[in-house]
Every structure is written in C-alpha cells, then in structure tokens.
Structure 1
C-alpha cells in the first residue's frame, strides 16, 4: 500500500488464498475473525476489499446460504453478491445483492463472450426508486455549502426547499450512504456520520476536488481525509 497510495479497491481472488489454518471445532469464530482482520486492513488504509469466494454445490432457496463456510463470513462482511446460473454454460445469470447500507435486489445479467464481461439486462426485483433526493440536496448545499446536524434537522431543511420530499430520518441516512459515491464524484458533496451522547449527526460539505476538509466519523463514508472511516468489505461469487 505504501507503493500505491492511490489504491481504492483490492480484489482477492479467491478468499481461500489468503486464509490461515482452519479450526473445524469453531468454524464460525475462525471465519468471523479472518474476515474481521481483512476489514481492519480496509479500515486502516481507507479502501474497499472485494473477496471472491465459492458457493456450495447444493442449491438453497436463499442464495446467500450457499456461500461456502459458516455464517461467520456472512455476518462479518458489509455486503454480499451471489452470481447464480441455472447451468454452468448459461450466458444469463442472476446477481443477488444484499448489504447493510444497500437495498436488497436481484439483477439479470448476460455474459458478453466477445468482451468477456457481464452486462446488465434488467432488474428482477428491488429496482431503485427514482432519485428525487439528489436535486434537492444539491440545491440546498449550493447556497449553504455546509451542514451539520441530525437527520431530522436535515430532512426539515430539505422539505423547506421541496415539500414533496417524503421519507423518514432513518431512510434519509440510508439513502445518503447509498449515494455517497455519486454525490462525491458528480456533485462534490462529501459526508460524514458521527455520534454524540445524545444524537447521531450528519455532516455535509459541497466544494471542488481540492476542498477535502470535512470530518468523517466512525460511521462515515470513505474519504481521503477521514480519521476513522468505515470502508466496505464484500463477498462476491
């Protein structure tokens, strides 16, 4: 990492290559501990880590139960993506998605053999709703530039600009986390989440690419200046 300080994503293919000796007597504890150490690595360097892992051959009505190993792996990661095909040679597959800060959904993908990539075809379930929040948030921060307060206070401010904004404070926090990358890359909006003894606070700042002074708390979205970020680890098959 010292040689490549701009690294933002590390892909491990496969997880088994970096695993230590397994104690069969406590598989859950081993799996949880190993994934936890990888997450600590991601936290330390403020990056995302994608772990490629195998699934069991036995099918299951819940595709996430097919992840090889104990439920310690499922419990320790931030998000999971399971690619499921009806046949090994099939060109189409379903990508099952779940996670702590993302909506559960199923995507139909088709493999492009010429380009050797999976291409999005359609949503099978959980299609994201139209993004009505971003335009209001951009308008709010275009004049204010910064905000620090509770999600309830932010929601009241946004409703003052557009009365059609309709969501709960918890839903607003989740939507902000889901769209953090788009907000930062397209609109130069950075955010952080901190907790005091009495409340959870949201910090927002709009500026150009050189303005990176916003503080990111323990529940923050990854940022190059955060002191205590929470980058994401995921399992993908």
Structure 2
C-alpha cells in the first residue's frame, strides 16, 4: 500500500471546529512545555515555588486568571527543609493539592514514567515544575542542537498528551546580550523544543527588581517588570503590553449576552462583530469566525449552536439559541454548512 499524506484543504479547515489554546496562567503559560531561565540566585526558584502554590489555590497570577488544579514541584536542587522554610515565607497556608518531591531522577531513567504515574493518581494535574533542567538531563558526549532538542521531546509529548503545562527551570549564561533569550544556556535546540521561553534578569545582583521577558508560539512578546517583596514573592510593577483592550475577547460571554433575547441570528462576521463588540475594541471579521470555531463546546454549554456557511460568495454565521436550534434554517443549503 502506498503511503500518502492525509491533508485537509483550506476551506474545510476554516470551517472545522477546533479546541482553542488552553492556559494554566491566562496569556502566559499554556498547556505545553515551557522554559524559565535565570542567573544563579536570581530568584527563579522562589518564583517557581510561588507559582506552584498560587495555581493550586486558584488565585490570579499578576492579574491573570489561572486554571486551578493539582501542581507538582520537582525541587531537585533543594532539601525538604528549605522548601518548608520558603513556604512559610510566601504563604500562610499551602493547599493539599500542591505536591513536592526532592528525589532526583533523569530522563530515560524513570522520570517520564513517574510523571505519568503522578498524573494518573492526580487526574486534575495542571502544572508540573522541574527545578532544574540540568538535573534531569542524560549525560551526553556533546551539547549539540540535536541532543538539546531530543532531551525535551519526551517532556513535550507528556505535556501535550495530558493537556498540562510543564515548566523547566534553567540557567542563563554570564555574558551580556541585548537579547535575553540569547543568554539561555545551551543551544537554540532548547528554545526550539519548548512552546514558551521566559528569562528572569535582575537589574543588578540582589536589587530585588527584575524583568521577566516572555516569548512563545501561543503568546505575544511581553516584558513584565517585577519586584521581590519582603516575603520573597515577585510582584508585578509594569507590563509592556500597554493595550489590555487587545486581549482576545470572551466570545462566549459576548455571544451569550447578544442572544439572550433572540432565538436565532443570521449575518456576516462583520455584521456580528459590529453588534457584539465596542467601537474601541472592535473584533475583526476573521477573529469572530476563529473564536466561534474554537469555542463550540463552551457555546453549546450556554445553549447556543453556531453554524458557518457560504452564500453568494460571502461567509454567513447562523446562531441558534436553546432547543429552538433544532428547528434549523430551511433557507440554508444543508450540504454547504458546517457547525462552528
């Protein structure tokens, strides 16, 4: 039998409902594999510990919503006593769904299996932090791009298959560079294998002020100014994203509110955008279609069914509310429609 590619054409793809990108920390940490690099003693482990506790509690991270769930902090460079002392600094009460382990184990020597078993025992796991990457790497004759990339492949697969975030703590090189991501220790294979790279760079050693630079496949480039308070918690001081109105809108809320007094609606993406969004925060035509396609389950949970079709060369969106959606639209060509 001849092997072949299983392709999908553009028209079908643009009408196919797909799940949107899910975030553990909205706008920063999506499901997938991520890297946080900083200089030794720069406070990156304090940040990782606070993040693991905050997500487990379901509290916001610098004003960003989180997906609450079980977290696991693999603190391979710290003792249990040190973690306990740090916990007393950053929180009054650590929840039972944040877990810690200081037993070091390497990739290819049981680490993947242990992570998989933890997820089986805690199916609500959303975040696993590994501190540090170097502690789990396999001994290699050379630090080539191929070795760097291969070492992270298994963890990337684990994160994607289980729909969780895995955050690797890593080091920066000592030499200066205008681009902080060029200072990440190792080859570009590390940055290439992860979904997001973060660098934590202090203004000066011990200043308690730092810049967290963020770049990734699923987030916009961003710089966060941070200050470490007396409890060793990194607090947000500034955010380079100066236009919060450019955040992806909550299409489920907007459409649900729009349809609350309607049984159905038919119109173009541009017409729907004008009806559901404000002038100063207008949603583009393409963004309306994309957001509807990627939120079909959430819309269905609010009693709304969306259908996209083409009519006279134009894209038309049909919205149906509650049980009345079963009535359908007799004027629509059934062979020319696709559920959004």
State how many pairs are aligned: 175
Deviation, structure 1 residue 170: 6.2
Aligned to 1:140: 255
Measured against aligned partners, the alpha-carbon deviations of 1:127-151 in whole angstroms (never above 9, x if no partner) come to 3432576366513134669xxxxxx
- Counterpart contact for 2:132–2:169, Cα < 8 Å: yes
Aligned to 1:101: 218
Out of 145, 149, 168, the residue aligned to residue 28 of structure 1 is 145
Measured against aligned partners, the alpha-carbon deviations of 1:131-180 in whole angstroms (never above 9, x if no partner) come to 576366513134669xxxxxxx756533343473243636985xx6xxxx
Deviation, structure 1 residue 3: 1.4
Measured against aligned partners, the alpha-carbon deviations of 1:200-235 in whole angstroms (never above 9, x if no partner) come to x534323669x9xxxxxxxxxxxxxxxxxxxxxxxx
Aligned to 1:66: 183
Deviation, structure 1 residue 99: 1.0
- Counterpart contact for 1:23–1:30, Cα < 8 Å: no
Structure 2 CA distance for partners of 1:99 and 1:133, relative to 1, 3 Å: closer
Please give the secondary structure, in 2, of the residue aligned with 1:102: coil
User: Hey, what's the Cα distance between the residues in 1 that align with 2:211 and 2:271?
Assistant: 39
Aligned to 1:215: none
TM-score normalised by length of structure 2: 0.45
Aligned to 2:294: 202
| Structure 2 residue ranges without an equivalent (≥5) | 1-118, 261-267, 304-340
User: Hey, what's the Cα distance between the residues in 1 that align with 2:287 and 2:141?
Assistant: 40
Structure 2 CA distance for partners of 1:202 and 1:7, relative to 1, 3 Å: closer
Deviation, structure 1 residue 91: 1.0
Structure 2 CA distance for partners of 1:104 and 1:168, relative to 1, 3 Å: farther
User: Hey, what's the Cα distance between the residues in 2 that align with 1:133 and 1:104?
Assistant: 15
User: Hey, what's the Cα distance between the residues in 1 that align with 2:209 and 2:299?
Assistant: 41
| CA root-mean-square deviation | 3.1
1:8-87 equivalences in 2 (<5 Å): 8-24=126-142, 27-87=144-204
Aligned to 1:130: 245
Measured against aligned partners, the alpha-carbon deviations of 1:20-42 in whole angstroms (never above 9, x if no partner) come to 12241x61011111222111011
Superposed structure 1 runs of 4+ greater than 2 Å apart: 125-129, 131-137, 141-145, 153-164, 166-173, 201-209
Out of 158, 164, 175, the residue aligned to residue 273 of structure 2 is 158
Measured against aligned partners, the alpha-carbon deviations of 1:89-113 in whole angstroms (never above 9, x if no partner) come to 1111111111111111111100012
**Structure with greater contact order relative to length (CA < 8 Å, sep ≥ 6):** 1
Please give the secondary structure, in 1, of the residue aligned with 2:166: strand
- Counterpart contact for 2:209–2:225, Cα < 8 Å: yes
Aligned to 1:2: 120
Which moved further from structure 2: 59-68 or 87-96?
87-96
Aligned to 1:118: 234
User: Hey, what's the Cα distance between the residues in 1 that align with 2:247 and 2:197?
Assistant: 27
Structure 2 CA distance for partners of 1:60 and 1:168, relative to 1, 3 Å: farther
TM-score normalised by length of structure 1: 0.63
- Counterpart contact for 2:132–2:170, Cα < 8 Å: yes
User: Hey, what's the Cα distance between the residues in 2 that align with 1:43 and 1:28?
Assistant: 22
Please give the secondary structure, in 1, of the residue aligned with 2:144: helix
User: Hey, what's the Cα distance between the residues in 1 that align with 2:124 and 2:162?
Assistant: 10
User: Hey, what's the Cα distance between the residues in 2 that align with 1:86 and 1:138?
Assistant: 41
User: Hey, what's the Cα distance between the residues in 2 that align with 1:12 and 1:51?
Assistant: 5
